[in-house]
């Protein structure tokens, strides 16, 4: 009996111990679960924060896109319209709902957007600041930018930038320069006329000193007239009134005339001109007056920037498609760091300014415009203190 009692007590003790062990394990599990729950809640909170942040960023980008001061049209990777902002809608009078998810070709359904659709239909790549006159005095610049993500194209952004105001200011400036140049031309021509008469002795014989002063005045007056002529040519180019009198002509004759117009300077500076005139050469279509200006500009610069007693080589060649003229000198050259802007308006390299303070920096700008208007190319090779070769080619 006592034994049974002892066994019961032992069993009860064991049960207690087991219960205690289970209780400890259970409490531990609950703690672990609580921890996991907390970390999960934290992660969820972070996710929510991230989502809110992403939404804020998305809204910001959408607001920038919507209110941007340029017209923007977003195309997806299949060049279908994904989004159009307010300015694009205002510029092109588009009905946005009718265009979304459609190809950009549908832009041509809207009269104002027709010119843009026709430019885009030739390919959306390589369109940069292309000017389009949508109405009188309403000019926009069209650019298309590819959108790449991790080197994959995800669409294109069409940008319409209104440049009407800038164009109006530019036009006013051009008109002012043209008016001022015209007003200056007559008094300068009068001075030229009076000085020439003085020089010829029409008002009596001049003393040596007087002759020198008259000669200097005439030379500087000629430079002023030539500067005014360049300014007028530039105004004409900018007003698109630089008309060309295109005719069949022989460039060899033009070169001979241009060399001849510098015979005094060539003699004074003892320059040796080497021009091997080809015996036969094709006549081609160009504006002789304007091409003569380009050849004169090349020769004028070659003389100006050559040392006394220097040599100038003029060479003419042709292939099936083009004729090419080269004027090479062995003068001061153009410093490397100033070569990229040499065809810009009023651009002069430092070494040229030091040597000859009177240049205008307009000759090459004009030459480039003339050659390119003929469908030709203009370029140069130069090394400081070694010499320069200027070239142009014209299509046959």
CB 273, min distance to ligand ADP, A: 14
CB 125, min distance to ligand ADP, A: 34
**Measured distance CA(90)–CA(185) in Å, rounded:** 46
Kind and range of the H or E element at 298?
helix 288-304
Sign of CA dihedral 88, 90, 94, 99: positive
Contact assessment for residue 121 and residue 75, using Cβ atoms and an 8 Å cutoff? no
293 contacts ligand ADP (rule: CB under 6 A)? no
Contact assessment for residue 140 and residue 119, using Cβ atoms and an 8 Å cutoff? no
Query: Could you tell me which of 108, 112, 101 has the C-alpha nearest to residue 74?
Result: 101
Q: Which is nearer to ligand ADP, 58 or 272 (CB)?
A: 272
Region binding ligand ADP by CB under 6 A among candidate stretches 54-62, 134-142, 300-308, 315-323: 300-308
DSSP-assigned letters across all residues of 201-244: TTTSPPPHHHHHHHHHHHHHHHHHHHHHHHHHHHHHHHTT----
**Binding-site residue total for ligand ADP (CB under 6 A)?**
22
Q: Scan residues 226-255 and list those touching ligand ADP (CB under 6 A).
A: none
Q: Which is nearer to ligand ADP, 71 or 333 (CB)?
A: 333
363 contacts ligand ADP (rule: CB under 6 A)? yes
Query: Could you tell me which of 126, 122, 135 has the C-alpha nearest to residue 162?
Result: 135
302 contacts ligand ADP (rule: CB under 6 A)? yes
Region binding ligand ADP by CB under 6 A among candidate stretches 8-16, 100-108, 264-272, 340-348: 340-348
Give the count of beta carbons closer than 10 Å to the beta carbon of residue 239.
12
Q: Which is nearer to ligand ADP, 235 or 388 (CB)?
A: 388
292 contacts ligand ADP (rule: CB under 6 A)? no
Contact with ligand ADP (CB under 6 A) among 237, 360, 373, 377:
360
Query: Could you tell me which of 120, 161, 119, 113 has the C-alpha nearest to residue 135?
Result: 113
303 contacts ligand ADP (rule: CB under 6 A)? no
**Measured distance CA(187)–CA(180) in Å, rounded:** 12
115 contacts ligand ADP (rule: CB under 6 A)? no
Q: Scan residues 309-338 and list those touching ligand ADP (CB under 6 A).
A: 329, 331-334
**Measured distance CA(63)–CA(42) in Å, rounded:** 31
CB 290, min distance to ligand ADP, A: 15
Q: Which is nearer to ligand ADP, 174 or 360 (CB)?
A: 360
Q: Which chain residues interact with ligand ADP by CB under 6 A?
A: 297, 301-302, 305, 329, 331-334, 342, 347-349, 352, 359-365, 388
């Amino acid at each position: 009996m006592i034994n049974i009692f002892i066994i019961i007590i032992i069993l009860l003790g064991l049960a207690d111990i087991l219960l205690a062990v289970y209780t400890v394990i259970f409490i531990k599990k609950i703690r672990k679960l609580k921890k996991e729950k907390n970390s999960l809640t934290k992660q969820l909170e972070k996710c929510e924060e991230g989502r809110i942040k992403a939404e804020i960023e998305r809204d910001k980008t959408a607001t920038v896109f919507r209110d941007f001061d340029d017209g923007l049209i977003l195309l997806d990777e299949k060049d279908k319209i994904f989004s159009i902002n307010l300015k694009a809608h205002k510029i092109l009078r588009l009905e946005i709902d009718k265009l979304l998810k459609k190809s950009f070709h549908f832009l041509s359904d809207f009269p104002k957007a027709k010119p843009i659709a026709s430019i885009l239909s030739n390919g959306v790549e390589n369109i940069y600041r292309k000017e389009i006159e949508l109405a009188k005095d309403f000019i926009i610049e069209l650019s298309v930018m590819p959108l790449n993500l991790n080197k994959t194209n995800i669409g294109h952004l069409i940008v319409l930038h209104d440049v009407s105001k800038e164009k109006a200011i530019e036009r006013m400036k051009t008109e002012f320069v043209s008016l001022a140049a015209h007003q200056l031309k007559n008094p300068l021509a009068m001075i030229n006329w009076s000085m020439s008469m003085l020089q010829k002795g029409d008002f009596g014989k001049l003393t040596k000193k007087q002759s020198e002063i008259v000669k200097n005045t005439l030379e500087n007056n000629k430079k002023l007239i030539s500067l005014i002529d360049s300014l007028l040519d530039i105004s004409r180019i900018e007003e698109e009134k630089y008309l060309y009198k295109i005719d069949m002509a022989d460039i060899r004759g033009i070169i001979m005339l241009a060399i001849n117009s510098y015979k005094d300077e060539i003699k004074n500076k003892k320059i040796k001109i080497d021009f091997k005139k080809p015996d036969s050469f094709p006549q081609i279509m160009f504006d002789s007056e304007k091409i003569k200006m380009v050849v004169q500009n090349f020769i004028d610069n070659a003389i100006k920037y050559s040392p006394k007693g220097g040599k100038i080589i003029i060479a003419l060649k042709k292939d099936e498609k083009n004729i090419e003229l080269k004027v090479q000198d062995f003068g001061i050259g153009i410093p490397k760091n100033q070569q990229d802007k040499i065809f810009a308006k009023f651009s002069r390299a430092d070494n040229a300014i030091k040597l000859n303070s009177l240049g205008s920096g307009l000759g090459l700008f004009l030459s480039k415009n003339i050659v390119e208007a003929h469908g030709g190319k203009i370029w140069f090779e130069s090394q400081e203190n070694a010499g320069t070769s200027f070239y142009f080619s014209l299509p046959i």
